[in-house]
Structure 1
Amino acid sequence: MTHPNAALIERFYEAFQRRDVDAMAACYAPDVTFSDPVFVELHGGEVTDMWRMLVSRAQKFTLAFSHVVADGDSGSAHWVASYVFSQTGRTVVNQIDARFVFRDGLIVEHHDRFDLWRWASQALGAKGALLGWTPFVQNAIRAQAKRGLAAFRAKAA
């Protein structure tokens, strides 16, 4: 029998596959925290707004997930997002490992890990391949993402 928190992770990614951000948000606690190599630390509404922004911009988006494991406290999954990066028109296939912490049947922490250099190589081309490993370029990617999310949130308000 599938643990309820494993079913919650599956529900989250099934909603993500449909680009249903409201259903994704329903899997999160109101005080959820999220982190990944680009969005280092987001809280609450910032998390769902990030997904809303990313889903709205993604072109030719597909998502597959696997290896869902969970118990009463924590869980994990592997997922692969394929899309055209809107800023460059380049195709990205991002392999991501996710960790989750649960409280009261909802996700309270969501941490994604992926190779930012590999992502930059795909999304940015030669510049990303040559310089994407440097802290300067990685910090620039983070700063641009932060500005983009702030602008998205301001426009939605």
Structure 2
Amino acid sequence: MENNKSENLCQIGEIAKMAGTTVRTVRYYMEEGFIEPAARSAGGFYLFFPQAADTVFFVQKLRDAGFALKQIRALYEARKNGATGDEASSRVLALLEEQKRAVEKKIADYQKLEVEIREAMDLVSRCQGCERAPNRETCRKCSVVTSREKLPLPCQAII
């Protein structure tokens, strides 16, 4: 490959660095078909357009949010397999709406969990200075615990 053609291309390590992930992850997403090398260097290294880092970053963020590769792949295939831009955009929009709803539900679940954790922190902070042995029997009789109508979820698990 000529140097002037490869100037704008990046090696796999550069893509990993730009996407904030590992070379192994980039290779995996390449094997899964999310990104494709644009060329190979004279030394046989895969070369990618810089935009591949955006794809890797987006796929990784969806994975971090709990989406399965199957769901993520459906998004890419909807665009690729649309006969027209209109058809592809309709499919992609439907899938994105589905993903948005799933993320909104996760956010709501995390917000509820955050409230539970804050309440547990408040309760547990009131135990500082307690000289009794921390066990279920002792703690369940303690006024710090009995004064509450309901124990926060983390405390239910440990008290």
* TM-score normalised over the length of structure 1: 0.28
Q: Compare the two structures and name the one with the higher strand fraction.
A: 1
Of the two, which has the highest radius of gyration?
2
Q: Compare the two structures and name the one with the higher helix fraction.
A: 2
* TM-score normalised over the length of structure 2: 0.28
